[in-house]
Structure 1
Amino acid sequence: MGLCSVLLLVVMIVGEVQVSRAIICSPTELSPCVAAFISQQPPSGACCSKLREQRPCFCGYLRDPYLRQYVNTPNGRREASFCGVPSPRC
């Protein structure tokens, strides 16, 4: 009985970990990248993580005239390249 309970608990925990969360397409999600957008310093790990997470949102950002001026810049492309995030093909 004890082993079955432990196995059931492990299955429940693993199932919880694998649940994916919805991506929120909001430019504020990229706030960890502000310093690298503005300066020549390399992006932080948190920034790279957010860039990878927000990748499905990039085409929407590029269609917005206000956001395009920040996303489609040399620093923005440099950050994405540094983090291994390919340029979007919209």
Structure 2
Amino acid sequence: MLGCHDYDGGEAIPYDTTYVKKYAEIGDSDWLGNAATISGNIKIGEGPIITIGSVVVKDVPPYTIVGGNSAKVIKYRDIEYFKKLKEEKNFH
């Protein structure tokens, strides 16, 4: 679960004491780099790599490598090779 304080319509400045819950859906075999930030209500597909320090503010497609602030697709992984390794249960 992710979340933040209510800053838009709350009863105090800069934010209310109300906590707004948000959820991230993280797929299978994902690799999140150190200090990557996932910002609520995000769906991360199967098998992406999210680089160190990335800020994810929108959905991440399956089998991608994303990075930056805000995270953008850098390239796509070899899907067939990924599936082959997964089927063979070659996990690190």
Structure with larger RCO (C-alpha < 8 A, sep 6+): 1
Q: Which has the higher helix share?
A: 1
TM-score, with structure 2 as normaliser: 0.22
Point out the structure with max Rg over C-alpha.
1
TM-score, with structure 1 as normaliser: 0.22
Q: Which has the higher strand share?
A: 2
